Amino acid sequence: MAPSSPEGNSQPRRKIRSFVRREGRLTAGQARALQDFWPDYGIDYFASPLDLDACFGRRAPRVLDIGCGMGETTLALAARHPENDYLGVEVHRPGVGRLLRGARERDLRNLRVICHDAVEVIRHQLPDNSLDEVFILFPDPWPKKKHHKRRLVSAAFLASLLPKMKDHARLYLATDWEDLAGHLLETCDACPGLMNLAGRGRFAPRPRWRPLTKFEERGRQLGHVVYDLIYCLKASYKSQATSHK
């Protein structure tokens, strides 16, 4: 039962989500992958910090892929860089199923996935100072102005994410929506803990290492401009945050 509001009679306020579960049909192969491969690659959500060394069976640079979709980027980079560990977070089960199947087909040992809201995973499940890189690639743009409050990246979101990043960790973002690109640039440039590596107010060149996914290729064919942003966590951020506690 949902807790009642302080007033007693009114309904509790609904939490604003940055996603809607538009899953569609789960294919037989995706369902089978979720059942068969989750024990090897899946991490259940719980509201206490993970031991990532135990999850991956080693200590290595850690990359968080938020909203990894069907897993094209995560799978390609995990295969290309076995020296890194990749943690994908995705709420849509068909995408998770395809990612699990791809991980098994490639016999990847450096990939794990959590099927849950990234905001809650970051806030409750990821330990502080654990991430070397973070990807937020092509998040839901929520183009209607009345829905802008649902956009994932906000000052509050960054305040939760930055403590999870190591000093000098990188944050990579990309979108093919011009309005969202401006929002990301403004929000991240205004964050005191982040430094825009392309220069304040500027977008970055497309990183050569970032795989070209089917989604991005389709957008390019339609004439969409892709905007990349790259930020570094300032070394002074952690000391300043500690001194203000």
Domain extents for the chain? 40-243
Asked if pLDDT for residue 115 goes beyond 80, the answer is yes
Q: Is 128 a catalytic residue?
A: no
Q: Residue 24 has what pLDDT?
A: 65
**Among 21-25, 67-71, 90-94, 226-230, whose mean pLDDT is lowest?**
21-25
Average pLDDT for residues 197-202, to the nearest whole number?
A: 98
Contacts 24+ apart (CB under 8 A), 184-189: 184/153, 184/227, 184/229, 185/227, 185/229, 187/153, 187/154, 187/155, 187/158, 188/153, 188/158, 188/229, 188/231
Task: Output the pLDDT for position 144.
Answer: 84
State pLDDT tens for residues 117-167. Answer: 999 999 999 999 999 999 999 999 968 888 689 899 999 999 999 999 999
Give the pLDDT confidence score for residue 146 in this predicted structure: 85
Of 3.40.50.80, 3.30.420.40, 3.40.50.150, 3.90.1170.50, which CATH number belongs to 40-243? 3.40.50.150
Is the pLDDT reported for residue 101 higher than 80?
A: yes
- 11 vs 95, more confident: 95
Query: According to the model, what pLDDT value does residue 235 have?
Result: 87
Q: Are 118 and 95 in contact (CB under 8 A)?
A: no
- Please report the pLDDT score of residue 9 as a whole number: 43
- pLDDT confidence of residue 166: 97
Q: Which of 140, 167, 176, 179 is catalytic?
A: 140
Q: Is the pLDDT of residue 82 over 90?
A: yes
Query: Average pLDDT in the 62-85 region?
Result: 97
**pLDDT over 80 at 21, yes or no:** no
Calculate mean pLDDT across residues 195-205: 98
The answer to whether the beta carbons of residues 216 and 176 sit under 8 Å apart is yes
Distance CA 206, CA 221 (A): 17
pLDDT bin (cut points 50, 70, 90) of residue 176 is: very high
pLDDT surpassing 90 at residue 100: yes
pLDDT of residue 14: 52
